[in-house]
Amino acid sequence: MSEVPSDSERISALQTRRVAFYEEVSRRIDLMGTNSGILMDTTYNEIVEFINAIKECATNDERRQIMRDNAARNPYRLLEKYDLIVNSDSTRILIFKQRGGSALDSCQIVVKFSSIFDVVRQIHEVEAGNDHPKSKTLHKRVSAKYGKSIPRWICELFPDFCSICVRSRHRSKPKAGHQPILTRGMNVRVQLDIIDYQSMPDGPFKYVLDYQDHGTKLCQLRPLAHKSQVAVAQALVEIFCIFGPPSILQVDNGREFSHAASKSRRVPIDEEVLFVMLRLLF
Ligand SMILES: [Zn+2]
């Protein structure tokens, strides 16, 4: 039974996730520059201050002065794009400017860099039945609430930092029924077997070595007097000298195959071995 993590363990795991996520996001922002689509905290605060000042100014002269002071920031575009809501507890929330007639509860909130993790996590893990939506659905839900302030690449990245999503992604689905092995070409996979004819021997031969190419189904048969490792190896060398050795030689766990192929018995094929092999054949 797995132990349930304590509250402090859960908080520290969340903190580790948050740090790893922001490291990766910062790395990507550095690469993308101004194309990242993310509003950094300082810029966010400057926009909030600017719009607040415009809203609070009493005269047109005052307003013109503020616009002049912020000329470098393209003030008309900012006023066109953003708006400010002041809550009853006087906290200020930056939103995307709504078209006239839209309900206030349908507004899209602007998210700054430091809030991205909590906002996306809320939608990914807490809201909507804790169903861990993947990039496409996550982006759809996020952009419905926060508009373009959270770009698509953030939603594609976020599931990589969720342990539940990572775990479920690596689980391979079990396949029902028999799964045939598909082989293309000759000498890719060869099946080797020995058929026992001890009940009806032909002279000294009591076994037949069945060597079948899995791709082409070409079958080679060799009579064997014994089911020994030497006899099998000799028959195989003979076949390999005609067709070449296969990439995969598939056998059962019979002693005549497995013991002979053990590591301690492996011999590199040099001139001496070739000479012995040829002498065995001819
Ligand atoms: Zn998840």
Taking the centre of ligand 1 as the mean of its atom positions, its distance from the CA of residue 155, in whole angstroms, is: 11
Taking the centre of ligand 1 as the mean of its atom positions, its distance from the CA of residue 121, in whole angstroms, is: 8
pLDDT of residue 21 exceeding 90: yes
User: How does pLDDT run across 98-115, given as a tens digit for each residue?
Assistant: 877 666 667 889 999 999
Pick the closest to residue 114 from 28, 34, 26, 46 (CA basis). 26
Instruction: Return d(Cα 168, Cα 199) in angstroms, integer.
Output: 55
pLDDT of residue 227 exceeding 60: yes
More confident residue, 233 or 100: 233
Name beta bridge partners: 83.
Answer: 95
pLDDT of residue 77 exceeding 70: yes
Give residue 118's pLDDT.
92
Give residue 59's pLDDT.
82
Domain ranges of the chain: 10-166, 189-281
Q: Which segment of 16-25, 30-39, 193-202, 218-227 scores lowest on mean pLDDT?
A: 30-39
Taking the centre of ligand 1 as the mean of its atom positions, its distance from the CA of residue 38, in whole angstroms, is: 22
Kindly state the average pLDDT of the residues 92-103. 79
One of 3.40.830.10, 3.10.20.30, 3.30.420.10, 3.40.109.10 is the CATH number of 189-281, namely 3.30.420.10
Taking the centre of ligand 1 as the mean of its atom positions, its distance from the CA of residue 185, in whole angstroms, is: 43
Taking the centre of ligand 1 as the mean of its atom positions, its distance from the CA of residue 166, in whole angstroms, is: 7
Taking the centre of ligand 1 as the mean of its atom positions, its distance from the CA of residue 106, in whole angstroms, is: 26
Taking the centre of ligand 1 as the mean of its atom positions, its distance from the CA of residue 117, in whole angstroms, is: 13
Can you read off the two tokens belonging to residue 101?
């007639």
Mean pLDDT of the chain: 83
Placement of tokens 């948050």 in the chain = 18
Taking the centre of ligand 1 as the mean of its atom positions, its distance from the CA of residue 33, in whole angstroms, is: 28
User: How does pLDDT run across 257-271, given as a tens digit for each residue?
Assistant: 666 566 556 666 667
Taking the centre of ligand 1 as the mean of its atom positions, its distance from the CA of residue 132, in whole angstroms, is: 4
Q: Which amino acid is at 244?
A: G
More confident residue, 251 or 259: 251
Kindly state the average pLDDT of the residues 74-101. 84
Kindly state the average pLDDT of the residues 195-216. 92
Give the model's confidence band at 1: pLDDT under 50 very low, under 70 low, under 90 confident, else very high. very low
Kindly state the average pLDDT of the residues 121-142. 85
Give the model's confidence band at 172: pLDDT under 50 very low, under 70 low, under 90 confident, else very high. low
Q: Tell how strand 248-250 and strand 219-224 pair up.
A: unpaired
Question: N- to C-terminal Cα distance for the chain?
Answer: 66
User: How does pLDDT run across 24-73, given as a tens digit for each residue?
Assistant: 999 999 988 777 888 899 999 999 988 888 888 878 888 888 888 887 77
Q: Which segment of 85-89, 190-194, 222-226, 242-246 scores lowest on mean pLDDT?
A: 85-89
Taking the centre of ligand 1 as the mean of its atom positions, its distance from the CA of residue 219, in whole angstroms, is: 52
Taking the centre of ligand 1 as the mean of its atom positions, its distance from the CA of residue 224, in whole angstroms, is: 61
Give residue 231's pLDDT.
83
Taking the centre of ligand 1 as the mean of its atom positions, its distance from the CA of residue 42, in whole angstroms, is: 30
Percent with pLDDT over 90 in the chain: 25
User: How does pLDDT run across 135-154, given as a tens digit for each residue?
Assistant: 899 999 998 889 888 999 99
Instruction: Return d(Cα 275, Cα 280) in angstroms, integer.
Output: 9
Taking the centre of ligand 1 as the mean of its atom positions, its distance from the CA of residue 158, in whole angstroms, is: 8
Give residue 195's pLDDT.
92
* Number of Cβ atoms within 10 Å of the Cβ of 256: 22
More confident residue, 239 or 99: 239
Taking the centre of ligand 1 as the mean of its atom positions, its distance from the CA of residue 124, in whole angstroms, is: 6
Pick the closest to residue 232 from 203, 201, 200, 265 (CA basis). 265
Taking the centre of ligand 1 as the mean of its atom positions, its distance from the CA of residue 139, in whole angstroms, is: 13
Taking the centre of ligand 1 as the mean of its atom positions, its distance from the CA of residue 94, in whole angstroms, is: 28
